[in-house]
Chains A and B, each alone.
Chain A
């Protein structure tokens, strides 16, 4: 490209791409649907995590002395217990069998029989075991001539002292959740908007308007205008979704780290810009190779596999934060577009790694701009059968720019 793209032309093209799609039902409905799904997911998570459990526990015979201490001990473990007195073990068993009682406890408080249908809550079992041991201990203390209340008062002050050597570790889980979230959102947006770009390229090729456009606009202008217009739309959608996610998360307190969330959204958008331009160019070049929407998937599938693979690789990278392969991949385009922001959100990325990733990503995007413009220029006016990647690249090597003219191979005559 000898001359810089004419900015006004670029603006006109980007504006058309942006407005046409902004007004489309696909965008409006899609954004609303995604936002509702995401908010719903977060609310559901918080509901599942904080759901109070209530158990109906029946006590028969001597075991009834366990009722009050069990209820009290369980309450500190977010478990609510409704106590019921049962007249007999047999009657209580019937209630357990019919599901009216969750647990029946009977017999000697130091060695009670516990009846459940098929499953005993771990919390109940552990709490009960503790209580039973206390009862046995108290009996042993009495037998040894000691007063259990005195002993209890003496041991009450025994305590452990905890020192947090790595206070950030407490945030680790929340951070990883945010990281996964960022990776998922970025990968979905890259794939969806990449496809939209490729479809836009094929649409212009399929309805032949590209011949009119290229008689007045340079191919690189058309390509960049598309990337900018559609990319802006993707960024706006990402911002809406990010804001909804932050709002839902802070309201439900799934993530109690608003700073972390806001930072994740910000770096997510930064990385969307870096990654999107790169992938959008690849998708656009891919789209220019075919003449019909039906042929598009075959060309795009390998690209999509790379993005999806990167997203899946993230789970391995995050589970092995010190593995040099994972760290290396997260700095290397095209993988960095998903891996680095996710690692940043997870708190695993060091500053120098982020820096390297950003620089490499920008460099790769510049390289891709030239490459994609060549492929696009060589293929976009060729109608008919699919153009091979290598064919388009081979032709690209001797592509000459002369004013507006793009070297293209013949379109087979109809």
Chain B
């Protein structure tokens, strides 16, 4: 499969005894926001470094628009590393223009773009300040501006939301959505799953260097078990017994969480509940990304065990 955007094919990297990334494949299409989810040490940063070329992969390849990615393309990728880094004693405007020029922008284009982004982030009047004089949140904004100020062909952001206050999270999300809408593939990693769920078109869950699930949040949900919350105060504790394809997961007072298997229908379940008396609640349990994540992790662990 070839196409526009970014593709990672069978990427692997080993550090001594540790298989940091193991035959990893996924793609990020133009206009897509891809959320990269995994525990610490799962291989997210290593993957991004191979993508940016600061690490050489042992096997596999990174493909851009159907061709192996090269230095000229990588130069135009906006990257925000997990470990933030700027020259603390250099002026903000000067520093961003310097970085934009290293990424291939002309002096004039760099100046215009930096001015635009700093104005957008409310830092237009601080262009002549040194980076170290800014608050943490503002430094983070400057860091993002560094990844944006040269019209990048793609954005790769390692934990861009880490340590941001809710307001900053909102403005960061808005910028990412906007870039994606403008056709730029955006790949970012995060621990904040509810944020990823809200923001991303697609999600990839990585564990021990392997991609254990990819897809839209809706797709991932479909893979999950079908569960219902039933509040039936008059029912006996074993009311689900004898119902084919219905399994009781847990009980909370008069509320029961049941799982339907083998294609059992939800209407049969509702009828059985009504037979016991009044039903105050009958609701599909929609798993959050966190639930999906936990589920996927457990499954993967069971498979390897």
A interface residues (Cβ-Cβ under 8 A, vs B):
9, 12-13, 16, 20, 203-204, 207-218, 381, 383, 400, 402-410, 413-414
CB within 8 Å for A211 and B85 given contacts A9-B102, A406-B56: yes
A405–B56 contact, CB under 8 A?
Answer: yes
Which residues does chain A contribute within 8 Å of B71, judged by CB atoms? 218, 403-404
Against A, the Cβ 8 Å flags (1 = close, 0 = not) of B92-112 are: 000000110111100000000
Against A, the Cβ 8 Å flags (1 = close, 0 = not) of B52-65 are: 11111000000000
A405–B41 contact, CB under 8 A?
Answer: no
CB within 8 Å for A217 and B102 given contacts A210-B85, A212-B146, A403-B74: yes
Choice from A203, A217, A407 contacting B56 with Cβ under 8 Å: A407
Closest to A413 in B: B41
Closest CB of chain B to A196's CB: distance in Å? 14
26 contacts between A and B (CB under 8 A): A9-B102, A12-B102, A13-B102, A16-B98, A20-B89, A203-B87, A207-B85, A207-B86, A207-B88, A209-B87, A212-B79, A212-B81, A214-B54, A215-B52, A215-B53, A215-B79, A216-B104, A403-B71, A404-B53, A404-B74, A404-B75, A406-B54, A407-B55, A407-B56, A408-B54, A413-B40
Closest CB of chain A to B72's CB: distance in Å? 9
B55–A213 contact, CB under 8 A?
Answer: no
A410–B20 contact, CB under 8 A?
Answer: yes
Which residues does chain A contribute within 8 Å of B86, judged by CB atoms? 207, 209
Chain B interface extent, by class: 35 or more
CA distance A162 to B24 in the complex (A): 92
Interface of B is mostly: loop
Which residues does chain B contribute within 8 Å of A409, judged by CB atoms? 15
Which residues does chain B contribute within 8 Å of A216, judged by CB atoms? 74-75, 99, 102-104
Closest 3 CB pairs of A and B: A208-B85, A209-B85, A410-B15
B90–A20 contact, CB under 8 A?
Answer: yes
Q: Among the interface residues A204, A207, A217, which one has the most CB atoms of the partner chain B within 10 A?
A: A207
Which residues does chain A contribute within 8 Å of B56, judged by CB atoms? 400, 402, 405-408
CA distance A218 to B74 in the complex (A): 11
Closest to A414 in B: B83
CB within 8 Å for A211 and B81 given contacts A405-B53, A406-B56, A413-B40: yes
Closest CB of chain B to A99's CB: distance in Å? 59
Closest CB of chain B to A393's CB: distance in Å? 18
Closest CB of chain B to A199's CB: distance in Å? 12
